[in-house]
Amino acid sequence: MTAPYPPLEPYRHGMLPVDALHTIYWEESGNPDGVPVLVLHGGPGAGSSPLWRQFFDPGHYRIVQFDQRGAGRSTPAGEYRANTTPLLVGDVEKLRELLGIQQWLLFGGSWGATLALAYGEAHPAHCLGFILRSPFLCTREEIAWFFEGARLFHPEAYAELVGALPTEERGDLLAAYARRLLSNDAAQYLPAARRWSHFEIRRASLHGVPPEGLPQSDALDTCLARLEVHYFRHGGFFEDNQLLRDLHRVAHLPAIIIQGRHDVLCLPLTAFRLAGAWRGSVLRIIEAGSHTAFEPGMQQALLAAVECFKRDGGFKAW
């Protein structure tokens, strides 16, 4: 497969109340009788996208997508209360039960890979395997790198993020932005959300800011920034190194890890460590790749991984 599949519309969608506060949006596309695959979006807070469906043969796969708590079409938008990784894992299980799926392939990148691992380690019996792009393990070092990496590689973006703060708050950027982003005052959180979101997005591609400019959506900026700062300040709601510690629970399952060599958001070292701890996993480092899934090398690798699983039920032959 050398090109994405054509655009695809869902054949079914709905809203699933998961507690007294949150209701999540879900949808299915492709073949209702096909191999189930759960697509987990990044961020947290980014929301799912129709573009992800185009990685999968719609005649073979039953493609399930949903917007995590506070993201996309889930309600309330941008809500960080009652929003933790264990609760997201529980939401995935509720969705699986609602749809009557016994086992599914997990497909996710960045934070989506984080959640795929967290879910898999909690419910390995319901997993067929994993396709993980640019994995993020939510360690203290990785969270610190979110800022430090920008200072080293994108100093102009870092200067913009820091320059909006009073001098006395610049020693702890995470705390300073949490105070603003988790405020109820739009005059506080909206400018901070725009800066945070654009600070991240402009570093996700080798090509920098796309020709059409950065996305201009206060709703998306707010969801992404609020939920990321919320999860970062709590270490992803993991014990440090928890995902590697509990990897033995999924070690018997097929997995491929696809990593861009020039990813400055989720470092190749993380992918290398994950693959080293996961006996039987396959690591593919894309020399011309960075963070986004939609650069040619990364896109081709993901398409090939999905086709390999379709053919072989694993990745050893790829």
| Active site (annotated) includes residue 110 | yes
Q: Is 152 helix (H, G, I), strand (E, B) or coil?
A: helix
**Of 67, 91, 221, 263, which residue is the catalytic one?**
263
Give the full edge-to-edge strand order of the sheet including 282-286: 12-17, 23-30, 61-66, 35-40, 104-109, 127-133, 255-260, 282-286
Long-range contacts for 157-165 (Cβ within 8 Å, ≥24 apart)? 157/198, 157/199, 157/202, 157/203, 158/199, 160/195, 160/199, 161/195, 161/196, 161/199, 164/191, 164/192, 164/195
**Of 126, 198, 230, 291, which residue is the catalytic one?**
291
Token look-up 């979110």 returns 146
The distance of Cα 168 from the centroid of its chain, to the nearest Å, equals 33
- What is the Cα–Cα distance from 147 to 159, expressed in whole angstroms? 11
Q: Is 73 helix (H, G, I), strand (E, B) or coil?
A: coil
| Active site (annotated) includes residue 33 | no
| Active site (annotated) includes residue 91 | no
**Of 110, 134, 205, 281, which residue is the catalytic one?**
110
- What is the Cα–Cα distance from 221 to 84, expressed in whole angstroms? 20
Token look-up 């032959």 returns 317
Q: Is 147 helix (H, G, I), strand (E, B) or coil?
A: helix
Supply φ then ψ for residue 288, to 5 degrees. Answer: -100, 20
Q: Which residues are catalytic?
A: 110, 263, 291
